[in-house]
Amino acid sequence: INEKMNEWLGEKNVADTLSLSVPNNVTSEMGMKLLDVADVIRPYPEIIEYLQQVKDDNFLDELVQFEGGQQVRVAIAAYLDKYGMRCAGEIDISRTRWSEKPSILVPMILSNIKNLEPGASKRKFEQGRQEALDKEQDLLALLKKLPGGEQKAEETKQMIDLIRNFIGYREYPKYDIVSRYFIYKKALLKEAERLVQANVLNKKEDIYYLTFEELQETIRTKKLDDRIISKRKDEYKLYEKLTPPRVITSDGEIIAGKYKREHLPAEAIIGLPVSSGVIEGRARVILSMEDAELEDGDILVTTFTDPSWTPLFVSIKGLVTEVGGLMTHGAVIAREYGLPAVVGVENATKMIKDGQRIRVHGTEGYIEIL
């Protein structure tokens, strides 16, 4: 038994399996709920065809001309009502929210219709929940056979329940912050609209280049030097070209560490193992979520993920990112969805080419190009 326990606990996948399909995770639910939206659209080929050519954001109102259009419109509107304040890079208040540009969701919805069967949301969640339950029961049965096993099993069961019931709550603070951000954004843009009408600003989005204090001053005085905006726009373009270091301390020190690689293949691309398992598939190197045309079995390779990427996770089989750690968003959701994942892979989006076949070793923390 001890041998079996050591073998089990030596593998990271026990903890990862116990993290599958946890309840009360507002971010992973967001991915599953978009599968439900796909199921509402699925019976209507005309609407699917229409969505494939959607370019503007009035498409929600135009849906009603098709059979099933009203149900589809209601389903998408309900989804946006709960998650529409999210977007890529959502901590930046100036980023375009899904509610402001619903067409961002269309490729993900179409990808769900193409790659997954009806009812995938409930089936995926239930399958993960069952796997976690089976692993828990095996572990507890093994513990009971040890000296003092009943108490060990009871304490372990308490810890498992604690993790499964509460790990999802790590996603709520961000969800709440971003919900408030969208309210602030709408209020600020309303003020900006007044400044445009008073010929103080050229366009309302120009307030993104002012500090809050400068905006207050502009509203008070109804004056603004145009040169400030154009100077800040130029600076912003320059900053966009910079590549931040992978690790930087709070003192501003840049640490350029190297991963240990003794026991790994010579050609391995190395990162941090954050979700166990090994998977092979086609690499999809995607830098912007709107460009995500996924096939079943693809592996997502990107710079970083945040909650807005979660709806893509239901279509992929593995994840590789340049930035991230054991408890960052992508790692937590990958474990909950059961996707092998390696993060903190320097230059992953340059070293791995879109379309290459790769093998992701989520337990060991490296990638091979096949």
Look up residue 322 and give its two tokens: 């340049």
pLDDT tens per residue across span 169-203: 888 999 999 999 999 999 999 999 999 999 999 99
User: At the topology level of CATH, where does 269-369 sit?
Assistant: Glucose Oxidase; domain 1 (3.50.30)
Average pLDDT over every residue of 252-273: 85
Percent over 70 (pLDDT), the chain: 97
Among candidate residues 73, 317, 329, 361, the one labeled active-site is 329
Confidence check: pLDDT of 160 > 60: yes
The yes-or-no answer on residue 361 being catalytic is no
Residue 98 burial (CB count, 10 A): 21
Residue 289's pLDDT band (cuts 50, 70, 90): confident
Q: What is the pLDDT of residue 112?
A: 92
pLDDT tens per residue, range 131-152: 999 999 999 999 999 999 999 9
Q: What is the model's pTM?
A: 0.86
Q: What is the mean pLDDT of the chain?
A: 90
Identify the band that residue 128 occupies on the pLDDT scale cut at 50, 70 and 90.
very high
Q: Quick one: pLDDT at residue 131?
A: 93
pLDDT of residue 354: 93
Query: Tens digit of pLDDT for each residue in 302-357?
Result: 998 989 999 999 989 999 999 888 888 889 899 999 999 999 998 899 999 999 99
Alpha carbon distances (Å) from 78 to 159, 175, 272:
36, 17, 37
pLDDT at residue 256 is higher than 80: no
Residues 262, 263, 267, 268, CA torsion sign: negative
Q: What does the pLDDT read at residue 158?
A: 95
The domains of the chain are located at 198-242, 269-369
pLDDT digits (tens, 9 = 90+) for 62-82: 998 999 999 999 999 999 999
pLDDT given at position 9: 57
Residue 219, pLDDT > 70, answer: yes
Contact 21, 164 (CB under 8 A): no
3-state secondary structure the chain: CHHHHHHHHHCCHHHHHHCCCCCCCHHHHHHHHHHHHHHHHCCCHHHHHHHHCCCCCCHHHHHHHCCCHHHHHHHHHHHHHHHCCCCCCCCCCCCCCCCCCHHHHHHHHHHHHHHCCCCHHHHHHHHHHHHHHHHHHHHHHHHHCCCCHHHHHHHHHHHHHHHHHHHHHHHHHHHHHHHHHHHHHHHHHHHHHHHHHCCCCCCHHHHHHCCHHHHHHHHHHCCCCHHHHHHHHHHHHHHHCCCCCCCECCCCCECCCCCCCCCCCCCCEECEEEECCEEEEEEEECCCHHHCCCCCCCEEEECCCCHHHHHHHCCCCEEEECCCCCCCHHHHHHHHHCCCEEECCCCHHHHCCCCCEEEEECCCCEEEEC
